[in-house]
Amino acid sequence: DGGITQSPKYLFRKEGQNVTLSCEQNLNHDAMYWYRQDPGQGLRLIYYSQIVNDFQKGDIAEGYSVSREKKESFPLTVTSAQKNPTAFYLCASSGSSGAQETQYFGPGTRLLVL
Amino acid sequence: KQEVTQIPAALSVPEGENLVLNCSFTDSAIYNLQWFRQDPGKGLTSLLLIQSSQREQTSGRLNASLDKSSGRSTLYIAASQPGDSATYLCAVFYQGGSEKLVFGKGTKLTVNP
């Protein structure tokens, strides 16, 4: 079954802690994306990667970091520098850079601060 | 600024009604426009993608149109069902540098039995 998986479904962060959200896809897609969704707001792009070992900042990259060591994996780390991390985080992928392609989304991770 | 606006923010209709959701965008230089569905607490599901050169796309009871000159798209849902209740998001892939989708805030649809 092809698709995108995100884990965990819920994640709790303590003050000053870094946490990592997992995103894995078996669609053989080149491009992967991380979005943040807040209540009543549209999705905002955090980071994206068009190819292995390369990634670019989106609109709200401050306080976040990513890596793309494997084609199928694009983990997102929420660092202690992100002062308002509570949100719903969505990972997506597409066949190429996305200009002509549909983006496929994972089920999301909800991050809460203790 | 490249933006996407969806009005209304929420819509409630009785079952069986045909309905239209609206999306407007600020720049006609686009690659494509996409409609997504999101159920509460879930990820997004792609419904329709309209390329810049196309005027409409259809899938089952859904029909999406694109008018670049006016900066508008509509999603038409025929014979609505309670299972259609969800938030519908419009997203535009603008040309001109930034390789990203710009999302509207969505329209929350409730179809009452």
For B43-90, write each residue's pLDDT tens digit: 999 999 999 999 999 999 999 999 999 999 999 999 999 999 999 999
Query: CB A100 to CB B32 under 8 A?
Result: yes
What pLDDT is stored for residue A56 in this prediction? 93
Average pLDDT along chain A = 92
Name the nearest CA neighbour of A95 among A45, A36, A50.
A50
**pLDDT above 60 for A28:** yes
Cβ atoms of A23 and A105 closer than 8 Å: no
Residues 46-105 of chain A whose Cβ lies under 8 A from any Cβ of chain B: 48, 50, 56, 58-59, 88, 90, 92, 97-100, 102-105
CB distance from B61 to chain A under 8 Å? no
**pLDDT above 70 for A43:** yes
How far apart (Å, rounded) are the C-alpha atoms in residues A29 and A2? 11
Residues 74-113 of chain B whose Cβ lies under 8 A from any Cβ of chain A: 89, 91, 93, 99-106
- Nearest CB neighbour to B42, from listed A41, A56, A108: A108
Quick: pLDDT tens for A1-26.
569 999 999 999 888 899 999 999 99
How far apart (Å, rounded) are the C-alpha atoms in residues A26 and A15? 34
